[in-house]
Amino acid sequence: EAGVVQSPRYKIIEKKQPVAFWCNPISGHNTLYWYRQNLGQGPELLIRYENEEAVDDSQLPKDRFSAERLKGVDSTLKIQPAELGDSAVYLCASSLTTAWDTEAFFGQGTRLTVV
């Protein structure tokens, strides 16, 4: 079974440029998360989707970040314009939400460097 797939793996852009990340979750997983991991820190939630609905975007900097999950499957995360402080690893995760299964499966992440 394929895991969570993210692309690109690495991205280097100049500040003020736009950038987009793509995530394909595990088939059948209705919950999708975008996390950001800064160097030396744990992952922090940016946005969580239940199917196509964003149910928690309280930590998403909405002035420059946007996300969408069309048809409740793939998702894209966009930053426009990027700032130096956005350099981080962006992780996508998915889970099958049930009462007893809280495990989230992560993709390999996209390492963003803003110069």
Partner 1 sequence: DQQVKQNSPSLSVQEGRISILNCDYTNSMFDYFLWYKKYPAEGPTFLISISSIKDKNEDGRFTVFLNKSAKHLSLHIVPSQPGDSAVYFCAAYKRSQGNLIFGKGTKLSVKP
What is the C-alpha to C-alpha distance for residues 28 and 31, in angstroms, rounded to an integer? 9
Q: Is 69 in the site for partner 1 (CB under 8 A)?
A: no
- Rounded to a whole number of angstroms, the minimum distance from the CB of residue 5 to partner 1 is 11
Angle at 97 between CA 60 and CA 43, to 5 degrees: 40
- Name the one residue in this structure whose structure tokens are 């989707």: 49
Cα gap 65→40, rounded to integer Å: 22
Q: Which of 79, 88, 91, 114 binds partner 1 (CB under 8 A)?
A: 91
Q: How many CA atoms within 13 Å lie on the side-chain side of 27?
A: 2
Q: State yes or no: residue 28 binds partner 1 (CB under 8 A).
A: no
Residues 40-59 that bind partner 1 (CB under 8 A): 40-45, 48, 50, 55-56
Give the footprint of partner 1 on this chain (CB under 8 A). Answer: 4, 31, 33, 40-45, 48, 50, 55-56, 91, 93, 97, 99, 102-109, 111
